[in-house]
Amino acid sequence: MRLRTALVAIGACVALQALAADTVFDTTAGNLLAVLRGSDAGSEPQETLRPYGTLVAELPDGREVEVEMSWFRYLGDMHIRLVFDSRTELQSAVPEDLQRLHLEPQQAVQVAVENLRRVYGEPKVTAWPGGLMQVIGRADDLNSSYFLDRTFWRGLEREHPGGVVVAVPQRGGLLYAPAADAEAVAALRFNATAIYAASRRSRVSSALYLFRDDRWSIFQAPVLPLQ
């Protein structure tokens, strides 16, 4: 599948590498992170790591190049991007990086989550209005990446045997409510919709997700992308 993307997007960093050699990234496994982004079309009914496909990136001079990134369709209207972190910028990994590091996609995501916890802290929970809870780390723009931290969600499931309903409407917003609390779930639905609609440049997912029985499922299906 060939998909079109703008060079300014994080995923077009293969072209950026050629144009900005002065930026040096540590591309070792210890610097790998995983970020969640919204998918342009389609929805995955269950967890997967299906390659996103070839991208067509437009360079500043108008030329187009085909690139392939370590992007993977994941769940609902979300995909995972494996990236290298410079603390100020992110550079997408490419399939050759995973081969060089001897990592399969699932292994790479696990390594990325371990790095997230080590560098940006273990996820912390703070109260939100309406009975909701917010998950945060030390880097706001990476809060949504804690969706991938299964150890964290397993701990919450032990506290809430009925599971938790989770929203990730924007990169800095990861919210949840106990599935057994109908009022909190209703508040989550309302707030997630409002945050997603207001977050044009940083939105991630319009769906709600359920973590129960040690797995993710779609609690409320994603809507068509907002313009």
Task: With cut-offs at 50, 70 and 90, classify the pLDDT of residue 61.
Answer: confident
The predicted model gives 204-221 an average pLDDT of: 98
According to the model, what pLDDT value does residue 225 have? Answer: 60
For residues 162 and 210, give the distance between their C-alpha atoms in angstroms, rounded to a whole number: 10
Q: Look up residue 108 and give its two tokens.
A: 């790479």
Three-class secondary structure of residue 61 per DSSP: coil
- Are the C-beta atoms of residues 39 and 3 closer than 8 Å to each other? no
- Are the C-beta atoms of residues 112 and 120 closer than 8 Å to each other? no
DSSP 10-29: GGGHHHHHHH-TTS----SG
For residues 205 and 108, give the distance between their C-alpha atoms in angstroms, rounded to a whole number: 22
For residues 46 and 50, give the distance between their C-alpha atoms in angstroms, rounded to a whole number: 11
Residue 141: Cβ within 10 Å count: 14
Torsion sign over Cα 86, 39, 172, 158:
negative
Task: With cut-offs at 50, 70 and 90, classify the pLDDT of residue 77.
Answer: very high
Task: With cut-offs at 50, 70 and 90, classify the pLDDT of residue 7.
Answer: very low
156: pLDDT strictly greater than 80: yes
User: Which pTM does this prediction carry?
Assistant: 0.88
Strand partners, 203: 170
What is the helix, strand, coil percentage profile of the chain, to 5? Answer: 35, 35, 35
Where in the chain are the domains?
2-119, 121-220
- Are the C-beta atoms of residues 151 and 143 closer than 8 Å to each other? no
According to the model, what pLDDT value does residue 15 have? Answer: 41
Q: What is the pLDDT of residues 11-53, one digit of tens each?
A: 344 444 444 445 678 999 999 999 999 997 779 999 999 998 8
